[in-house]
Amino acid sequence: MYAISNKQRDDIIKLLAALRNLHGQDTRTANIRRKAGVNINKLNKAKQISYEKYKHLQENGRLL
């Protein structure tokens, strides 16, 4: 499990969206577009936690 800030999450989604819009017909580009779409969906479905819960996990040694 990784904890990232909302800003980092938004930046990652923007980067993946740019990759998803690559032009080209070769297999490599198609795979990059597909993987970017899959990862965007995973990030959108990921569970978000409150800052208070994050601090609690951090204090109990659950996060590095």
pLDDT (tens digit per residue) in 10-19: 999 999 999 9
At residue 36, the 3 state secondary structure works out as helix
- Name the domain count of the chain: 1
pLDDT in tens, 23-44: 988 999 999 999 999 999 999 9
Instruction: Tell whether 48 is covered by a domain.
Output: yes
Residues spanned by the domain of 33: 6-59
Residue 64 belongs to a domain: no
Q: Which residues contact 16 (CB under 8 A, 6 or more apart)?
A: 36, 37, 39, 40, 43
CA–CA distance, 61 with 57 (Å, rounded to integer): 6
The per-residue pLDDT for 47 is 80
pTM of the shown model: 0.71
